Amino acid sequence: MSGVLPVLMYHSVGPVPRGSRRRAIFVGARAFERQMALLARCGYRGVTMDEAHAVLQRGTPSREKLCALTFDDGFLDNITTALPVLRRHGHRATCYVVSGRIGQRNDWSADVLGVSLPLADAGALRDWVDAGMELGAHTRTHARLTTLDKARLEDEVGGCKRALEDRFGLRVSQFCYPWGAHDDRVVEAVRNAGFEGATTTVRGRARTGVDPLRVPRVHVLNQHHLLQFWLKLETRYGDRA
């Protein structure tokens, strides 16, 4: 096996909401179902970032074909729509939650999208965890971390970790930078807060030995048809497109 372990990035799994100015982050339920089925047919097992982290840092490539599945922002449809599909195909995944917005809406991107969607409430997130999936941290308020002073930066990063751990009684070791915004100072704050891994929006397939706090991802967007999805997963197309 090669040392490649693609980390797929999703947001909402469902229809493009009426009035939305952007389509990209909404992957339709049927497209998602076909993508998860294709993964299984190609011999991939979808894993959490916690499991991917262990493999990527071990230094020796996995004998199994693995890809990590990540969902940013904690949309309610991740649990109502994506979770049954993940379970059916035996995949696991990580959902990055904004701890101060649980059960609310993704108002932080209302300007860009023109609409907002419901985020998972605590009960739905509990269902996610009970199904063997992972909760990751995505700050308290979806803040752009590179713009914050030290105290607010630490509160958004470490505060999110503590809030999720206290609320759900589990260990949260994985982080995701809102808007992909990170620099050396932000990465250091994430390390100091006790996170083992963090994903960016830098495009590319992760490889063994990757910096665990700067993991690139493969963007899966509304406009990608199934062949593109396969190319992104299996070929160098995924490292640039």
Beta bridge partners of 170: none
Residue 73 touching Zn ion (CB under 5 A): yes
Region of 13-21, 144-152, 178-186, 225-233 interacting with Zn ion (CB under 5 A): 178-186
Q: Nearer to Zn ion by C-beta: 50 or 73? A: 73
Identity of residue 148: L
Nearer to Zn ion, 80 or 201 (CB): 201
Residue 213 backbone dihedrals phi, psi, to 5 degrees: -100, 10
Residue 138 C-beta: closest distance to Zn ion, Å:
6
Token reading at 113:
């999208």
> Could you tell me the smallest distance in angstroms from the CB atom of residue 118 to Zn ion?
15
User: In angstroms, rounded to a whole number, what is the distance separating the alpha carbons of residues 42 and 205?
Assistant: 17
72 is a contact residue toward Zn ion (CB under 5 A): yes
Binding of residue 14 to Zn ion (CB under 5 A): no
Residue 155 CA from chain centroid, whole number? 21
Interface segment toward Zn ion; rule CB under 5 A; list 19-27, 29-37, 70-78, 144-152:
70-78
Residue from 178, 204, 212, 238 touching Zn ion (CB under 5 A): that is 178
From CA 147, how far away is CA 84, in angstroms rounded?
38
Alpha carbon 176 to chain centroid distance?
7
* DSSP H/E element including 53: helix 49-58
**Minimum Å distance from CB 53 to Zn ion?**
20
Which window, 38-46, 57-65, 171-179, 206-214, contacts Zn ion (CB under 5 A)? 171-179
What is the C-alpha to C-alpha distance for residues 211 and 97, in angstroms, rounded to an integer? Answer: 22
Q: Which residues bind Zn ion (CB under 5 A)?
A: 72-73, 178
